[in-house]
Amino acid sequence: MSAARCTRPAGLHVAPPLATADAVILIADCTGPADVPDTLLGCMRVVTPSGIDQSYAAIHGKRVDAFAAAAGPQDVWLEGDRVRWRRGDQAVSIDLMTGVATPAGAAPPPLHVVHRTHAWDITRTDEHIIARERGKIAWQTRRAYTAVLGAVYLADFVPMIRIASIGPFGGRSELDLLDLDATGSARCATTSSSATPPTRC
């Protein structure tokens, strides 16, 4: 791959930064021309937490025109030695060393939560939040939620799954943050942006 002439400033369109154990991955429009043989999607910069550059790469690939034309919210996930970049309903998988991108599924990876001998993979659908253990459904919520935000670990307690629900209530916008017991029990803590009583999980 020909080297991309990327510089320190980011381009106009910036994806969410992705922090790893020892670096931060930054994806944005290239600030200068990049000599690539196929479709250019942007440039990727990897830096240490102290800001020292580790690498630059032009993100490019074949059969990625649908992603190049996509619009909408963006997400970035680390998957081994690759990064998955989602924009709207399209996604690509990017090799961290070469910047070569290939089409990928747009569904987010599950949230993996571990407690003692148990491990759950948490996913969100349009109807439920679903927890799977060893490939089988362990539990699911009674209703839909807007997002799975992450896991909350506290010493000597079962982990909680933090989720968000956004929508109108009584003519006003409302944001509810809920912590669900990772085991699927009925225990649920709710924080609401309004005086509305908490809904059942």
Condensed to tens digits (0 to 9), the pLDDT of residues 159-186 reads 999 999 888 877 888 888 889 999 987 5
Mean pLDDT throughout 51-71?
A: 94
User: Is the CB of residue 182 less than 8 Å from the CB of residue 120?
Assistant: yes
Sheet with 118-124, side-by-side order of all strands: 111-115, 118-124, 129-133, 136-140
Which of 80, 104, 128 finishes a domain? 104
pLDDT tens digits for 102-123?
999 999 999 999 999 999 999 9
Same domain (yes/no): 85, 118: no
At 2, is the pLDDT very low, low, confident or very high (cuts 50, 70, 90)? very low
pLDDT tens digits for 181-193?
999 875 665 555 5
Confirm whether 169 is domain-assigned: yes
Name 85's bridge partners: 76, 92
Confirm whether 10 is domain-assigned: no
Residue 189's H or E segment, with its range, is strand 188-192
Which of 104, 132, 147 finishes a domain? 104
111/14 Cα distance (integer angstroms): 24
Q: What percent of the chain has pLDDT over 90?
A: 64
Which of 104, 130, 160 finishes a domain? 104
Q: Is the torsion defined by CA of 76, 144, 123, 22 positive or negative?
A: positive
Q: What's the token pair of residue 173?
A: 């916008």
Confirm whether 98 is domain-assigned: yes
List phi, psi (to 5°) of 68: -60, -30
User: What's the domain range around 54?
Assistant: 18-104
